Structure 1
């Protein structure tokens, strides 16, 4: 079983950024990742200065190369479980194999649970989108349909109105609009279509409309949805991380952490979408860097404590790791 200073679970922007900081700090670090980032269906990442428009696959490939250049290890695979041992943690890999480390950084991201509407999954990340800051420019001036859900639908429709003058809000499962919400939508020219949605219509390789359960089809080129965002790694529960509900109601339980990513479980940090459901790629990378630096700082303190203890026991300080 290979022993590392830190195992990073998840190799997206957050995980690779944390691993890069640790590798540059001369730590033995391994990144466990299956190479299937959440944003894989998208044509490019956006709002990442100097990397705007780069494909998610290229971003990951470059990140992996940078980590390995500084001595980090990339383990292609998925962590299926993790547990505390006497002096750190062990991580079990799907298909067999086990790694050990003194600290863990969980940056495994999340999965998007789409509304139960036919056609959404097939067009997800192309002309079925969720984040206007990620995709708004790419769908500007097109006919956008906002699929209602929960209590935030009116606000999302107004938000997408910034990118297009042709926005329709489909109430679907949304909470009833208040008088003020209806007035604001009308003032901005957002049409409201009542009733549940049955499917997204596709013509060729392009969304062509939204079909209601009564058979009515409203022509649209883009559909904006609200997903339920769920932290994806099974190791979170294994490690005893206490989940909290996201205040927006968008996501299921996720692990809380301090600004450096430190959790309530000693020795475990989290970064990126694993803890911040709303983080974009650039902010996830920043969180990974913060967590990596904090983990190294924690290890530096532990190393100093061990060295002092060994020195007091009469050992040669030159032999202390």
Structure 2
């Protein structure tokens, strides 16, 4: 593919290499260094003049440092005369800060959009944005890849006759339409979850639907602290014996798994976690699981999206 180049910041180099392998092309050469004072410097080490450039970066610790480096990488490519720059962001920085739900707070995801535009992007690609309105924060074309296809393809390799899809809250229930379209035979249940403060301690009040004796498949767009899953599991345990699920399995697009998330998930008693590799999961966390952990690569679908946009 002529004039196509792929670059990556330091946030998820393994995924960038997988995408390049799918495209059968090398990763672009750039030197990204972080000085002892925390300031990054980026140098593009090959000619990109007139090229169609795709830059891969995701929110991964240290998130703020990686985001600034990502913006500087984009700006360096712009000043190196790249013809078009598309940001490929599997997990958008600050995507949970998408509305002003308290006085005197910032809508940070809108600020992120403005910073990316100022850096010099012409287009952006995401996987499962936390809220659809985030696309409206950008004044340029955006594409959102739906992660449901990857997860459903993996799930369809097993017997799903006793499964029920569980939405952890009303907001997530709205996002489950792709799963219902791909697996229409599965019934749907929903938990009434409420969060009374800006913390990671949700409370489940009731269940809408039937999970008694079934495999409860909780689907959430991201898992950060694991608190939502733990509270859902605890709620199920408080139900009468004949109304409890036989086991709990979880699927998510973004396995943030911050802090003590793995310990929290272990305590919840879930049997399985299926996630998409949108952010890097350290090997130490993978080894700390007491449940089945499947990490699905989005490299193929991202590569196909790049090919479509490039052509």
TM-score normalized by the length of structure 1: 0.29
TM-score normalized by the length of structure 2: 0.30
Q: Say which structure is richer in helix.
A: 2
Question: Which structure: larger Rg?
Answer: 1
